Structure 1
């Protein structure tokens, strides 16, 4: 459920579909323009090798993110089926923008839906949840 607080900040209050929280965060590599027209001389080869070595961490990171997403897509049907069939409790989370701000266990499907509506209503009234996720640095985000 997507709501806005009185200051206009967008919040999303949803169920967490898998029992874990994603660990990887996006990396902004900036404008990497590798298509600069490198030639076929030895200096261009050296420059290309240096650029490749500098790009390897980003390539490796991209492969890890892709592998995690693939694993998530493969396990998601089983996790949802297990939750529905075994009556596992759902965790709900409130995200400020796309950053997870708060999460809490919420019970079965019906109870979690009611809790989502209650939390979303509280956010719309300006009663924002206390930050429980990612607050280890102590810095609060400004609106």
Structure 2
């Protein structure tokens, strides 16, 4: 549920579908960012080919991981349906923008929905939840 606090800041109060917190990475912090310009001349092209041969096992491993990820994406709808139907307990979280600010365990699907509405209403009135997630916990 999306809500604005009295200062105009956008908050999102939702169920967390996975048992872990999301880890967001900034743009430009990937492992291959230093390879810009590799292969522009013959010497760097040879270096690039050698690096490619050395990286081949990692590329094959990445393909296996991608296959597993696709398989996981195919299974998520069934897992979510089972989780809703069997009454698993949910964790709800309030995010300020996209940064997790607060989270708390909740009950089953119905109880967590009621708690989401309560927290969103409180945020809309300016009663912000106390911060339970530190800036170092959510990937910032």
Q: Which residue of 2 aligns with 1:27?
A: 26
For the aligned residue pairs, the C-alpha RMSD in angstroms reads 3.6
Matches within 5 A, 1:68-79: 70=70, 73-79=73-79
TM-score normalised by length of structure 1: 0.65
Q: Distance in 1 between matches of 2:76 and 2:82?
A: 10
The question of whether the paired residues in 2 share the 8 Å contact of 1:38 and 1:48 is answered with no
Q: Where does structure 2 lack aligned partners over 5 or more consecutive residues?
A: none
Q: Is 6-15 or 105-114 further displaced after alignment?
A: 105-114
- Structure 1 residue 74 displacement after superposition: 3.5
- Cα distance change, pair 71–91 in 1 and its aligned pair in 2 (3 A): farther
Q: Distance in 1 between matches of 2:8 and 2:72?
A: 32
2:40 corresponds to 1:38: yes
The aligned length equals 127
- Cα distance change, pair 3–48 in 1 and its aligned pair in 2 (3 A): same
Q: Which residue of 1 aligns with 2:128?
A: 128
The question of whether the paired residues in 2 share the 8 Å contact of 1:90 and 1:107 is answered with yes
Q: Distance in 1 between matches of 2:128 and 2:118?
A: 12
2:98 corresponds to 1:104: no
TM-score normalised by length of structure 2: 0.67
2:8 corresponds to 1:3: no
Q: Where does structure 1 lack aligned partners over 5 or more consecutive residues?
A: none
